[in-house]
Structure 1
Amino acid sequence: MTFGELVYPFSKDNHIESFNIGFNNFKINYSGSMAKGLPKRSEDFSAWYNELVKKADLAENSAVRGCMVVKPYGFAIWEKMQQTLDKMFKDTGHSNAYFPLFIPKSYLSKEADHVEGFAKECAVVTHYRLKNAEDGSGVVVDPDAKLEEELIVRPTSETVIWSTYKNWIQSYRDLPLLVNQWANVVRWEMRTRIFLRTAEFLWQEGHTAHATKAEAIQETEQMMEVYATFAEQFMGVPVVRGLKTESERFAGAEETYCIEALMQDGKALQAGTSHFLGQNFAKAFDVTFSNQNNELEHVWGTSWGVSTRLMGALIMSHSDDEGLVLPPKLAPIQVVIVPIYKGDDQLAAISEKANALKDALQAKGISVKFDDRDTVRPGFKFADWEMKGVPVRVTMGHRDLEQGLVEIARRDTKEKSSYKVEVMEEVITNLLDEIQENIYKKASDFRADNITEVNSYEEFKEVLETKGGFISAHWDGTAETEELIKEETKATIRCIPLDAKDEEGVCIKTGKPSTKRVLFAKAY
């Protein structure tokens, strides 16, 4: 018996992508990933999520406990989010600025509720220099380099920004002041999960100052609606607009507006918040202005933010057991073209057609990747781009092209169809819009099927354990009852929906009178 060649190129993940083994006239061909696939969502949602983040090349854990490395493909999705939101902010009159990473510790103590809300999560800088250990064991903190005042690594920027606003605002002519910053923040979380809860994460935080209470409330509501529009029209994620209960409000806010999303495992995720700060921070930092009657008043403030947590929402809302499912509006690569060929002549002919299509689509603002790698087989490419959630895959084979046909596969439904080459540009353009709409509809239908009204505590606990999702129930309005339900069931009040209708009822826990239903859920 004579042996033919054995070819086994390995990928960066150390699994075989393809091999050929020949025994005389008998040949075995293999193309594809030999790595283990994703766990089933229905069996272990947490393991499925963690593996998907890894296999889709989005992010990984860093050497620093609780922190993440966002990889290029994951950051490309975040950039799309960032660019879209940044335009929406600027369209509503906001400008970007940047404020220090470090906050004097004394600033936090100026607003009592604020320091109480963040004290347990603060990372503190106490020294500014290291030195070599005398025993040669490495470096140690230089005790002579202790800071006069310790610095907090920002968990959020209200205090340092309002201390700055004191210098920027003197008159009603300086208002409104509409500022946003893109930054990183640090909150020393004990239990972390990539994108959803990390010790350091990326976000934007808007901070605005206004002459009147009405203007500030209008701003708070406007920014909540900006977030909701982004979530629904770009992420394809339906959200509930609502108010947080007093115990769930942002530390230092008089009112917190929020958007709440429902993930495929039936848990809720807070996707964005917008806070009406009243005059709390203005009074804490003595930010005043002369009104039109030349009288001094404290300004009214807001703050609002979303973070890389949106990446987690995107993954958990749409993806399946084969990998990511990305809405076209946020996909870094909207169309991938995969050639099927034998020999350089066939590749050259296919490349001519592929590059012409690529140029035409890119002229329309559609991002396209022509995957002409010769180091992996087509089957591996299909699985690779499916894992990464590319909305549309175009397969160009030599035989099909001879008949003037090209195959298109859509990621959301996995449907495949063949089309004439000359209509490809129009078909793909329309298909991307259709996929965007379908992804939203699927998530919206799922949410509608997983909002359940209950009228007793026994029914509440049964639905929570057997079905999950949002549970609409009456609550007596007290923090004590809210905390008791949380302790007993691990469910929290996600929000008081803004569209909740007045309805006479009784609290599911205490039987006391209630006039509105709130949404409970287990949450991330």
Structure 2
Amino acid sequence: MADTGGIGLTKKKDENFGEWYSEVVVHGEMIEYYDISGCYILRPWTMAIWETMQAFFNAEIKKMKIKNCYFPLLVFPAVLEKEKDHIAESEVAWVTKYGKSDLKVPIAVRPTSETVMYPYYSEWIRGHRDLPLKLNQWCNVVRWEPSNPTPFIRSREFLWQEGHTAFATKEEADKEVLEILELYRRIYEEYLAIPVVKGKKSENEKFAGGLYTTSVEAFVPNTGRGIQGATSHYLGQNFAKMFDITYENEKGEKAMIWQNSWAYSTRTIGVMVMVHGDDKGLVLPPKVASTQAIVIPVPFKDADTQAIFDACSKTVEELSEAGFRVEADLRDNYSPEWKHSHWELKGVPLRIEIGLKDLEKKQVVCVRRDNSAKVDIPIVDLVKEVKDMLDKIQQNLFDVAKQKRDASVQVARTWDEFTVALSNKKLILAPWCDEQEAEEDVKARTKGEIGAAMSLCSPFDQPQLPEGTLCFASGKPAKKWTYWGRSY
């Protein structure tokens, strides 16, 4: 391999996943570490991905008549106190001074916005004509993670959207929970090319302020850990009681609203890096990559360099006009080999090379990032072939990720099978009695240096449960199949 000037990674994904991940997100120019631990600078390469997902999600929720708004970052402790059962006090950051003076009352930085928003829902909702009230905000939140922060996956400040909706009926709320969850599945599977399982969280793992929590769950085969991809909560009337959110129904009677809340965050981007990245760096799905193809000139000493550069610029122009996100790397202080490694590290889906022979043959050379396949493309077919290749890369990334995920799933019917599967870093599907005591027992019995096993979700798509099947943990009659494993 040609010398790449030391820009490659020093750690391998299979050998030292944690350090490999840290190298990839920094050298791939996704983030930069900041002075404050757990806070990260999100560089343009990251923000472009976030904006693509945001554009998709915004368009979809607007079809559902959900409107965007913005609520303040700061919360009075008296209001936050109402939610003390739902958020970890140790994770709340506080503002205690302005200038050199102490604030009379410390003010919290929002860890989530239920308590910020719902006092106003109580004011705005008076009669049945005020319903449904469906709001979403794109914002940052702060949760002071006590353990070691990880870029994207567990950071102390992160970006997210949070939707907060109120309905006159339970049925409307139930329906929306699953509609939003389907949008989250689409973000992961259609945009990030990551397979996920849609399901319901256990009583132990649900959002404490809700009646039930649904989620999309991803899995990272290299670490054998599940990861909660996004959540859609059915809140019922818990917060309505807490904040006295009532309205006058059509009969003139006082009634209480039904609520949901739902969110996905920049964690999505970390999952994408973990699932698709390799020993050369990032591997970006074409749908979210800010640059889908990079055009690189391959000049020779005696060649007409200007003609090659002109062909590169023309290629960029033609593909850009056709709607692709394309750039040319015309820097003359780097070799083509260095550029190859640089753009591989950044995960650009397609590399287009143009040299003297390509000019003569009226072609370009295309190299796929996902599988390194190299093919000559006639200039006349360029737009059609590039579209075809990008579609194939997107699909292949999903197919390979699904194959690896599916190969990691193991059915465990007994405790012994469960512990063997856990030690082999598997995503475990096991019959469960659906009792909190049994789940707590699993956590206690598997607790170790790398964390305890937990229930991830009970999939909506339930395999058949033969009569007489017993719970793997308690030995009691099983009620459902549930995914288990260690989690981020």
TM over 0.5: yes
1:112 and 1:383 map into 2 onto residues whose CA distance is 50
Is 1:234 equivalent to 2:198 in the alignment? no
Specify the SS of the correspondent of 2:85. Answer: helix
Q: Pick the aligned partner of 1:281 from 229, 236, 239.
A: 239
In structure 1, the residue matched to 2:441 is 484
Q: CA separation in 1, counterparts of 2:127 and 2:33?
A: 48
Partner of 2:449: none
TM-score of the superposition, structure 2-length normalised? Answer: 0.95
Equivalent position of 2:255 in the other structure: 297
Q: Which amino acid aligns with 2:95?
A: V
Tell me, yes or no, if the aligned pair for 1:254 and 1:276 is still in contact at 8 Å: yes
Does residue 372 in structure 1 map to residue 342 in structure 2?
Answer: no
Report if aligned partners of 1:262, 1:469 keep a CA contact under 8 Å in 2.
no
Structure 1 residues 263-297: Cα deviation after superposition (integer angstroms, max 9, x where no partner): 13121111000000001111111111111111111
- Paired with 1:300 and 1:424, the residues of 2 have a C-alpha distance of 54
Q: Which residue of 2 aligns with 1:518?
A: 482
Q: 2:403 maps to what in 1? A: 445
Alignment of 1:298-377 (within 5 A): 298-342=256-300, 346-377=304-335
- How far apart are the structure 1 equivalents of 2:17 and 2:84? 39
- Distance in 1 between residues matched to 2:116 and 2:227, nearest whole Å: 28
What SS does the corresponding residue of 2:35 show, helix, strand or coil? coil
Report whether the alignment pairs 1:153 with 2:109: yes
The answer to whether structure 1 residue 189 and structure 2 residue 120 are counterparts is: no
Equivalent pair of 2:433/2:480 in contact (CA under 8 Å)? no
Distance 1:261 1:493 in 2: 13
Paired letter, 2:471? C
Given that 1:38 and 1:322 are in contact with CA atoms closer than 8 Å, whether structure 2 keeps it comes out as no
Contact 1:242-1:258 at 8 Å conserved across structures: yes
Separation (CA, whole Å) in 2 of partners of 1:188 and 1:486:
24
Question: Which residue pairs with 2:24 in the alignment?
Answer: 52
Instruction: Give the partner amino acid of 1:181.
Output: Q
Contact 1:32 1:379 in 2 (8 A): yes
Given that 2:212 and 2:234 are in contact with CA atoms closer than 8 Å, whether structure 1 keeps it comes out as yes
Q: Does 1:431 align with 2:395?
A: no
SS at match of 1:522: strand
Over residues 175-228 of structure 1, what are the superposed CA-to-partner deviations in whole Å (9 max), with x where a residue is unaligned? Answer: 111111010101110221111001111111011111101101111111111101
Task: Kindly provide the amino acid, as one letter, of the partner of residue 127 in structure 1.
Answer: K
State the 1:322 CA deviation. 0.7
Give the AA of the match of 1:292: E
Q: Tell me: CA distance 1:41–1:30, structure 2 relative to 1, closer, same or farther (3 Å).
A: closer
Report the AA paired with residue 118 of structure 2. Answer: W
Return the letter of the residue paired with 2:163: G
Partner of 1:15 in structure 2? none
Letter in structure 2 aligned against 1:517: W
CA distance in 2 between counterparts of 1:59 and 1:75 reads 10
Question: How is 1:502-517 mapped onto 2 (pairs within 5 angstroms)?
Answer: 503=465, 504=467, 505-517=469-481
TM-score by structure 1 length? Answer: 0.88
1:32 counterpart letter in structure 2:
T
Deviation at 1:71, TM superposition (A): 1.7
Determine the C-alpha separation between the residues in 1 that align with 2:103 and 2:132.
40
The 3-state SS of whatever aligns with 1:506 is coil
RMSD over aligned CA atoms reads 1.7
Question: What secondary structure sits across from 2:405 in the alignment?
Answer: helix
One-letter amino acid of the counterpart of residue 497, structure 1: P
Q: Which residue of 1 aligns with 2:94?
A: 124
Partner secondary structure for residue 306 of structure 1:
strand
Determine if the alignment matches structure 1 residue 179 to structure 2 residue 149.
no
| In structure 2, C-alpha distance between the alignment counterparts of 1:344 and 1:359, rounded to whole Å | 26
- CA deviations on 1:387-407 (whole Å, 9 max, x unpaired) are 111001000001221122211
Unmatched segments (≥5 aa) in structure 1: 1-28, 131-141
Cα distance between partner residues in 1 of 2:39 and 2:442: 32
Instruction: Read off the aligned partner of 2:218 and give its amino acid letter.
Output: A
Tell me the equivalent position of 2:6: 34
* Matched AA of 1:66: G
Task: State whether residues 267 and 521 of structure 1, in contact with CA within 8 Å, keep that contact through their aligned partners in structure 2.
Answer: yes
**Distance in 1 of aligned mates of 2:187 and 2:103:** 45
The corresponding residue for 2:124 is 168
- Tell me by how many angstroms 1:129 deviates: 3.1
- Supply the AA of the counterpart residue of 1:101: L
Aligned pairs for 1:449-468 (under 5 A) are: 449-466=407-424, 468=425
Partner of 1:213: 170
What stretches of structure 1 move > 6 A for 4+ residues in a row? none
> Is contact 1:103-1:154 (8 Å) kept?
yes
Contact 1:31 1:377 in 2 (8 A): no
Paired AA for residue 425 in structure 1:
V
Contact kept, 8 Å, 1:491 with 1:522, in 2: the verdict is yes
SS where residue 513 of structure 1 aligns? Answer: coil
For 1:256-275, list aligned pairs within 5 A.
256-265=213-222, 266-275=224-233
Structure 2 letter corresponding to 1:275: H
Query: Residue 69 of structure 1: SS of its match in structure 2?
Result: strand
**Aligned: 1:500 with 2:458:** no
**Structure 2: gaps (5+ residues):** 447-451
Write the distance in 1 (CA, Å) between the matches of 2:138 and 2:406: 34
Tell me the matched-pair count: 479
Distance in 1, Cα, partners of 2:5 & 2:437? 54
| Counterpart check, 1:400 vs 2:358 | yes
Matched, 1:414 2:372: yes
Q: Take 1:96 and 1:109, find their aligned partners in 2: how far apart are those partners?
A: 26
Q: 1:67-108 deviations in whole A, cap 9, x for unaligned?
A: 111122222222222222222222322111100101111112
Mean alpha-carbon deviation: is it higher for 169-178 or for 31-40? 31-40
Task: Report Cα offsets for 1:140-178 as digits up to 9, x if no partner.
Answer: xx3xx332x332110000111111112221111111111
CA drift at 1:111: 4.2
1:473 equivalenced with 2:430 (yes/no): yes
Given that 1:39 and 1:48 are in contact with CA atoms closer than 8 Å, whether structure 2 keeps it comes out as: yes
Tell me how far 1:255 sits from its aligned partner.
0.6
Matched, 1:244 2:208: no
Question: Which of 1 and 2 has greater Rg?
Answer: 1
